[in-house]
Chain A
Amino acid sequence: MQETLEHTPSEEEIRAPRRLIKFNRHDADGLAKRLTGLITLLASLLVPIIAIVLLLRAWPLLSSKPLHDLLLGTEWSPYQGLFGFLPFIVGTLWVTLLAMCVTVPPSLLTAIYLAEYTPSRIRLLIKPLIDLLAGIPSVVYGVWGVLTLVPIVEHKIVPFCTTYLGWLPFLSSENPTGFGVLSGGLVLAVMVFPIIISVAEEVIHAVPQGLREASLALGATHWETTKYIVMRQALPGVAAAVILGFSRAFGETMAVMMVVGNIPQIPDSLFDAAYPLTALIANNYGEMLSVPMYDSALLTAALILLIVVLIFNILSRLVLLRLRRY
């Protein structure tokens, strides 16, 4: 303190006294630019970072066995060091594909209805409800599945199918409970509704109005216009919406796990229990660090999930991006 009092300020210091102490507004701007840029860069690297970290931890297993043994092996017994992922991969595919078969027609028709056939007033009323469907936690979907779908499958659908349709390859059942592929697929189907609907609706809505008017002026009906003009134009985007829905279903964990039965087998029919990859991780991860390779095996499952989801996601996002650019 004493020193500063005695110190006589020089000419320059008098002219620009502040510059020494406080940093200037434009410096703040430069700092903000660097800081936000750095954070953005780090966040953008998150996808490769996650992939590399998972790969590192999965490597002990991946390097010790040939890949096709792992992916096509059917034996899963961690204590003997046998890790065949096929039952889980097939389980995931069954559930996901079934969900897509159930969910795509009603989702697309709803999207078309909302985009083409409803006045905007009603659309504004319905869209929050669909957002709400997207916001419901997956555990609640699981509870709903256990309380509603599983009993219906067990008491109505299974007896009906074994009595009348048992000769069909996928519809016979030895599984007495309702916990199985069908219940899992149906829960997933409902969970995917809002994703497909909201993306597809947006894409369809974005088709230029002039195209519709031209078609209507030529005498086409409303549906013909939708089918031949609007949907043709919106097709890539609609496909992207469906793929997004697929990848969401592929990675869904809790709800599926609660209704799908979780038995590591390759399901033969819609009513058999299955064991999807996500359920495998959720049921076993965190407590298996003592068994050699187990940890690696579960992270291999996570890696498979990540890779599939990444491929589908990037594909559909690129399509949507290109559409938006036009």
Chain B
Amino acid sequence: MNRRMIEEKFFKCMMLVSLLIVLGSLGLILLTVIKHGLPALNLAMLTQTPKGGYYLGKEGGILNAIVGSLCLAGGATLIAFLVGFPIAIYLHFYAKRKRIAEIVRLVMDVLWGIPSIVYGAFAFILMLWLGVRASLLGGILALAFLELPILTRGMDEAFTMVPTALKEASYGLGATKIETAVKVVIRQTAPVILTAILLAFGRGIGDAASVLFTAGFTDRLPDSLFRPVASLPLAVFFQLATPFPAVQERAYAAALVLTGLILFISILSRALANKMKKHIIR
């Protein structure tokens, strides 16, 4: 009896320790980024583009990267939504056999697991064939592949939550499937869809490997779909790779901005979901 209780206590302790390790590493990451990033952060960094000699420690900021990232992720989320939304509708309203829906879901989950560097390489090959150079368009393309499974699965889960009775009520009034989807189900699931969109958007902002050679890098603000565009993760990466401590500190500040942005998005999505949840019929 005693041995069994000791085992119980021991494993419970180990679990608590594990939980502490996991949460502790989260805290440590946030602390490290804040500790190193905050001293280097100033208003000029957020409101200016790099001036001459910026990467040698002269003045300027990372506005190009912030705006660039928002454009990249925004465009990619739009495209991923335009493709993912019909898929979610098909899965829930038109797929006749369960088997088909299951296979499509499996494909989406598998797509989710493909490394972003592979998407980057794939998008780069497509760009070569289409004659597009490293540009905003290329980056959007690569990120859209990356975001598609996230968005599709998110919307798919959202649609699953809608009670069948609600759909039946709509059919009963003579509505077609697409009318039910657009006028009833979307309204019901809007907050969850929004959460999925924000999740995908955040993933798009944070990913570096897929935009590494598809979007390029530039000191200018994005002005054309066919010109290279800067992005925050790459700004962090390139500045960290320079040998100058002053520039490396800016990399920490850029990492802080990036982390802050991601935190903001995830808190926003949670708050929106909670706020709008009360209007949902269950």
Contact = CB atoms under 8 A, between A and B. Distances in A.
Interface of A: 25-26, 28-29, 32-33, 35-37, 39-40, 43-44, 46-47, 50, 53-54, 57, 105-107, 109-110, 112-114, 117, 126, 128-133, 135-144, 146-148, 190, 193, 197, 221-224, 244, 247-248, 250-254, 258, 278, 281-282, 285-287, 298-299, 302, 305-306, 309-310, 312-314, 317-318, 321
A144 B251 CA distance: 12
A137 B258 contact: yes
A148 B259 contact: no
B118 A302 contact: yes
B21 A28 contact: no
Interface string B116-135: 11111110111000000010
Given A139-B236, A143-B33, A190-B25, A321 B15 contact: no
What DSSP secondary structure best describes chain A's contact surface?
A: helix
A253 B125 contact: no
Nearest to A243: B113
Contact of B26 (A33, A129, A287, A306): A129
Q: Is the interface of B mostly helix, strand, loop or mixed?
A: helix
Given A29-B179, A222-B8, A148 B208 contact: no
B91 to A, nearest CB: 7
Given A110-B15, A110-B22, A193-B22, A139 B263 contact: no
B60 interface: no
A39 B90 contact: yes
B94 A137 contact: no
B26 A133 contact: yes
3 tightest A-B CB contacts, nearest first: A251-B115, A137-B206, A286-B213
Contacts of A190: 25, 29
Contacts of A309: 113-115, 118
A40 B148 CA distance: 12
B115 A278 contact: yes
A244 B199 CA distance: 20
B203 interface: yes
A203 to B, nearest CB: 14
B117 A28 contact: no
B276 interface: no
A313 B209 contact: no
B113 A139 contact: no
A305 B118 contact: yes
A107 B263 CA distance: 23
Interface string B206-244: 111100110000000000000000000110110010000
Contact of A248 (B29, B104, B113, B178): B113
B117 A40 contact: no
The CB with the most chain B CB atoms within 10 A, among A113, A143, A251, is that of A143
Nearest to B255: A143
A288 B198 CA distance: 36
Nearest to A252: B115
Contacts of B83: 39, 43
10 contacts: A40-B90, A40-B104, A47-B110, A54-B122, A106-B21, A117-B15, A140-B236, A143-B255, A285-B124, A309-B118
Given A40-B104, A107-B22, A142 B124 contact: no
Among B26, B91, B114, B115, the one with the most A-chain Cβ atoms within 10 Å of its Cβ is: B115
B12 interface: yes
B119 to A, nearest CB: 8
Nearest to B101: A40
A141 B116 CA distance: 16
Nearest to B248: A146
A128 B270 contact: yes
Contact of A136 (B14, B206, B240): B206
A50 B126 CA distance: 10
A89 to B, nearest CB: 15
A47 B259 contact: no
B111 A47 contact: yes
B29 A247 contact: no
Nearest to A310: B110
Nearest to A302: B121
B177 interface: yes
Contact of B115 (A250, A299, A314, A318): A250
B259 A137 contact: yes
B115 A313 contact: no
B29 A146 contact: no
Given A140-B259, A309-B115, 20 more contacts: A33-B90, A36-B89, A43-B108, A47-B107, A110-B15, A128-B266, A129-B23, A133-B25, A140-B255, A148-B32, A221-B8, A223-B12, A253-B117, A258-B237, A258-B240, A285-B121, A286-B124, A302-B121, A306-B115, A313-B110
A54 B86 contact: no
A144 B28 contact: yes
Contacts of B22: 106-107, 110, 130, 133, 193, 197
Interface in B17-40: 17-19, 21-23, 25-26, 28-29, 32-33, 36
B252 interface: yes
A46 B259 CA distance: 31
A46 B19 contact: no
Contacts of A147: 32, 36, 252
A278 B236 CA distance: 19
Nearest to A253: B209
Given A36-B89, A223-B7, A139 B255 contact: yes
A109 B22 CA distance: 10
A247 B29 CA distance: 23
A314 B109 CA distance: 9
